[in-house]
Structures are given as structure tokens and as C-alpha cells.
Amino acid sequence: MSTLSSVREIANAGTPSFSFGRAVALVAGAVVVGVEALITRSELRKSRRQLSELDDRLLRDIGLDRGTARYEANKGFWA
């Protein structure tokens, strides 16, 4: 069972509408989701950087031209 699933179980447990445990679970869930988003963006940035390093032959193999690869590689971290 993943950490996020565990947090969701605690958050959805039959507790009153507000309790300290529920609040902690909700905050923990938000942190987990945020960290996952940062990891995903970091991996995407790494892939884009690697794309910019491919030669023209490899770009042709995947159906891209140099301009498209450069455009993707220059996108920001949050794009």
C-alpha cells in the first residue's frame, strides 16, 4: 500500500468533520502530492535536457526536427 493510500485511508476514516488526526492526514496528503509533482517535473526536465542532446539522426528516428527539440528543451521547469 502506498503512503498516499495510507494517508487517504486515515483522512477518510469515520472521524468527526474536524479532528487533529484528520487535519494532520490532510496536510500529509498535500505534502505527498506536492513532492510527487516535484519529482515528476524534475524527471520531465531531465528528459527534455536529454532530448536537446540527441543528434539529428536520432531526432528523425523519433519523428522530431531540431527546432521542435530545441523548443521542448527550452521549456521551463513548470511548463
From the CB of residue 42, how many other CB atoms can be counted at a distance below 10 Å? Answer: 11
Residue 75: closest CA among 56, 52, 41, 48: 48
Asked if 69 contacts 52 with a C-beta cutoff of 8 angstroms, the reply is yes
69 pLDDT above the threshold of 80: yes
Which pLDDT band holds residue 20 (cuts at 50, 70, 90)?
Answer: confident
Of the two residues 10 and 39, the one the predictor is more confident about is: 39
